[in-house]
Amino acid sequence: MITVRHILESKGGQIWSVSPDTTVYDALKLMAEKNLGAVLVQKGDTLLGIFSERDYARKIILKGKSSKETTVDEIMTPDVVTVQLKNSIEECMGLMTNNRIRHLPVVENAKIVGVVSIGDIVKAIISEQEYTIKQLESYITGTR
């Protein structure tokens, strides 16, 4: 069973975040530079929310607001769904599907230790399936 721990061991635990008073424009600049779909919003070590491309599209563009004048805390998603290192990729996929989200901050001992995205989960599932297929092929052909 592949867990969040396995994913973070493979990809690393890099965390990108902004403070709540960061302008939406500056948050978007960071997201573009780092090729991110979302950033965490933190004050010190406290997770306040998450800001995603979806928040921007629905709460800035469609409402005619200015990204250079609006701060992230005005439009972020405050109720963040999180996971722990022990959660399976299946559990993560279920949370993402049921909550219609693409990013899950990973919390361990009340500290953020990473973020997993839908892309990370899909990559892990494909890897697991490829391994299973190779094992089955070896079993069938007797080339173990």
Whether the predicted pLDDT of 31 surpasses 70 = yes
Q: What is the average pLDDT across 66-92?
A: 96
Torsions phi, psi for 40 (to 5 deg): -75, 150
Entry pTM:
0.86
Q: What is the average pLDDT across 23-44?
A: 96
- 20 burial (CB, 10 Å; 0-12 / 13-18 / 19+) is middle
Whether the predicted pLDDT of 50 surpasses 90 = yes
Could you give the number of structural domains in the chain? Answer: 1
pLDDT digits (tens, 9 = 90+) for 118-143: 999 999 988 888 888 888 888 888 77
Q: Which of 106, 129, 109 is nearest to 3 (CA)?
A: 106
**Is the CB of residue 39 less than 8 Å from the CB of residue 16?**
yes
- 110 or 16: which carries more pLDDT confidence? 16
Give the range of the structural domain holding residue 28, as residue numbers without chain letter: 4-141
CATH number at residue 29: 3.10.580.10
pLDDT-based confidence at residue 85 (cuts at 50, 70, 90): very high
Task: Give the CA count within 13 Å in the CB-facing half-sphere of 133.
Answer: 6
Please state, in angstroms and rounded to a whole number, the distance separating the CA atoms of residues 57 and 9: 32
